[in-house]
Amino acid sequence: MTVTKQSYTIWFSQRTGSTLLNRALASTGVAGDPSEWLHMDHADPAAFTREQLEERWKCGTTPNGVFGLKIGFEQRWIDAFRVMFELPPHASRAEVWSTAFPNCSKHIYMTRRNKVRLAVSWWRAIVSGEWHREFGQAPKEHDIADRYKYDAIHHLIFESSMREAAIEDFFSESDIVPLTIVYEDFIQDYEGTVRRVLEFLEVPADDVTIAPPSLDKLADEVAEEWVQRFREESQKEWEVKSW
Contact 69, 10 (CB under 8 A): yes
Q: Which residue has the higher pLDDT, 79 or 2?
A: 79
Predicted TM-score (pTM) of the model is: 0.95
The SS3 of residue 164 is: helix
% of residues, the chain, pLDDT over 90: 90
pLDDT of residue 46: 94
Q: Which domains does the chain have, with CATH numbers?
A: 6-234 (3.40.50.300)
Marked catalytic residue, from 36, 55, 95, 159? 36
pLDDT of residue 4: 85
Burial class from Cβ neighbours inside 10 Å (0-12, 13-18, 19+) for residue 212 reads exposed
pLDDT of residue 2: 61
% of residues, the chain, pLDDT over 70: 99
**Average pLDDT score over the chain:** 95
Which pLDDT tens digit goes with each residue over 143-177?
A: 899 999 999 999 999 999 999 999 999 999 999 99
Q: Which residue has the higher pLDDT, 6 or 140?
A: 6
> What's the whole-number mean pLDDT along residues 28-43?
96
Strand-pairing partners, residue 10, are 70, 108
36 is catalytic: yes
Does the structure show a pLDDT above 70 at 141?
yes
Element (H, E) at 205: none
pLDDT of residue 235: 97
> What's the whole-number mean pLDDT along residues 90-101?
96
**What is the band of 205 on the pLDDT scale with cuts at 50, 70, 90?**
confident
> What's the whole-number mean pLDDT along residues 106-133?
97
Torsion of CA 68, 73, 75, 76, to 10 degrees: -60
Which pLDDT tens digit goes with each residue over 38-91?
A: 999 899 999 999 999 999 999 999 999 999 999 999 999 999 999 999 999 999
d(CA 20, CA 187): 9
> What's the whole-number mean pLDDT along residues 166-190?
97
Contact 116, 194 (CB under 8 A): no
